[in-house]
Structure 1
């Protein structure tokens, strides 16, 4: 109910009632509401809806997929569509086709965790295809992956794990020439969970040198990505104070753990980015993470040596990567403070307004 109220208040009719000028551009967001983390791609739109109206003349409405009808689109300039990755490809394409070419320009918001494009045919019928992060090298989209992404493919290559029986057994193989409508939007740093955080002083007293929560069950493919991190952390536990707990804890205890650590090692999950990256930064931790040079994202908190410290995907260099920052607190603080400042800047309205303005310009709002 709370989410529905926030969406309703973003409507263009409500804007007129509160004294805002008539909108120059009207956008209807449509989603199936099946995946919370994907739906969070819309979170900054709702948070900043009044400012979007004032700064860009944009009014936003929302409808559930079940309620949306193509015949009702005539009063909108843009339609933003979001679907669960669990849908069969044919079903997803049939839904998108209902809203394509009906007058408003169609924007597909891909909120999946990974950098791949699950349904390449959407690139051909949408006016814009928005991702939270994209491969830095467009040629990477031509690669064929075992499973849903480059990360499932990596797991398959290092462990021999098969994805043949998975809901998405293979992906990729997209001609880079089809990527003209691919657009880099904003990442999960702008999710509500992160927006609610308050920065903790990086210089605060800390009793843990390195923390990480990386344990997963061996039958989960994430285990293939994270087990090397655990082994590397266990190997340095005699040199530093290392916390790699297995048991789940409350959010409050987890937050305290991060605020008590100098470094947080954050492995990949279903995608390269995870909330822990930004939770660690806000907690004043130095973020250490597998090398992110293969993707582009915004806000970019993954500038090596400036806002995070990269390590090899097998964590073979974890000790040498962490050692300089545990020996030199000023060096650690410098990186953390830059990361915190950039994250705080991205969470403020002007950053998102500029980001969304670029999206509207690219989509051709009128």
Structure 2
């Protein structure tokens, strides 16, 4: 079997999204090697000429984040140079939102991987208020305005949309009770024993003492982003306590709750989604039909329940769910099973390797088209 060398430039475990980006690569590294894929990781600051001497160069978007404000032209020049030398250049955008962040980089890469993508790719050809699909929605239909009226940069060349590809989302990390602590320690002391995928879950069950949990922060700099959470707090504030808890108390509450509401934050997917799966509650989220992701943990009516972005059916969704405990448990169980299948199930490693191989193969195909 021929060996494929993959260099990855990354900001490391400094952020939750960075951890979810790297963990499956590190924990499945032997399976990847068995499949003929050899990985080498490089720091964000690494800029030597041998970086692109590989079959595939993958750049984690967080590795470039500190440099955009002062060095956009230099970044694009480096990307163009590296693309000419590497077999294929793949940019992995691991930001929270399915909407656009770095349209200017598309012409300089062979493949643009994103943790979640808008189903309607043509939306990337137009600006979205607040850099997000749902922020744009609340701006247009609820009149929400930010102090700084910013919109996403549209893609200028429709042909570049063919470079878009699903990477993997932030679910592939450790969100168990002590998981964030272990991952943070790994940033300081990179011992592989600190890394593990969660496997010990609280099974969905009858007799949970609380109907619902909704713990969230609402302090966002953009009103168009904060609006969703603040509106929920106004709707439920008299019935539910929404303030944050300690992590231990929060997990205890989730484990005693029949369902948990997980609103949008900086992106559609939040770390709370996976904590809810682990705690065995049923997940309730806003409508996510505008986006797709991998792994797809979000099948409405099957792994979670959704409500409309305008909140018009929110109360009905909650009341109906709580009135049919059998269906509620079925959805909670399926959500948990789907999550574990991709994280710590017996086929989880192979599922990731197959997905990663498909990304590499597609990058070469796209390079051949340019």
TM tier, smaller: 0.7 to 0.9
What is the match of residue 332 of structure 1?
328
Deviation at 1:218, TM superposition (A): 7.2
Of residues 299, 313, 317, the one that matches 1:317 is 313
Of residues 131, 145, 151, the one that matches 1:170 is 151
What is the match of residue 31 of structure 2?
51
1:203 equivalenced with 2:205 (yes/no): yes
Of residues 27, 36, 39, the one that matches 2:18 is 39
Unaligned residue ranges in structure 2 (runs of 5+): 177-196
What is the match of residue 160 of structure 1?
144
Partner of 2:211: helix, strand, or coil?
strand
Q: Quick check: 2:199–2:340 contact (8 Å CA) kept in 1?
A: no
What is the match of residue 276 of structure 1?
272
Partner of 2:50: helix, strand, or coil?
helix
Of residues 212, 216, 219, the one that matches 2:218 is 216
Q: Supply the distance in 2 between the matched residues of 1:97 and 1:337 (Cα, whole angstroms).
A: 47
Deviation at 1:159, TM superposition (A): 4.7
1:362 equivalenced with 2:340 (yes/no): no
Q: Which moved more, 1:340-349 or 1:266-275?
A: 340-349
What does residue range 230-309 of structure 1 map to in structure 2 within 5 Å? 230-234=233-237, 237=239, 243-246=240-243, 248-309=244-305
Q: Supply the distance in 2 between the matched residues of 1:50 and 1:245 (Cα, whole angstroms).
A: 43
Q: Quick check: 1:44–1:352 contact (8 Å CA) kept in 2?
A: yes
Q: Supply the distance in 2 between the matched residues of 1:267 and 1:286 (Cα, whole angstroms).
A: 14
Of residues 95, 100, 115, the one that matches 1:132 is 115
Of residues 86, 101, 106, the one that matches 1:103 is 86
Partner of 1:339: helix, strand, or coil?
helix
CA separation of 1:218 and 1:126: change in aligned 2, threshold 3 A: closer
Q: Supply the distance in 1 between the matched residues of 2:58 and 2:316 (Cα, whole angstroms).
A: 46
What is the match of residue 28 of structure 1?
7
CA separation of 1:218 and 1:359: change in aligned 2, threshold 3 A: closer
Write out per-residue CA displacement over residues 233-273 of structure 1, whole angstroms, 9 at most, x where no aligned residue. 246x3xxxxx3331x33222211111111110110010000
Q: CA RMSD in A?
A: 2.4
Q: Could you state the TM-score of these two structures normalised by the residue count of structure 1?
A: 0.83
CA separation of 1:219 and 1:362: change in aligned 2, threshold 3 A: closer
Q: Could you state the TM-score of these two structures normalised by the residue count of structure 2?
A: 0.83
Q: Supply the distance in 1 between the matched residues of 2:143 and 2:216 (Cα, whole angstroms).
A: 17
CA separation of 1:152 and 1:34: change in aligned 2, threshold 3 A: farther
Number of residue-to-residue matches in the alignment: 333
What is the match of residue 60 of structure 1?
39
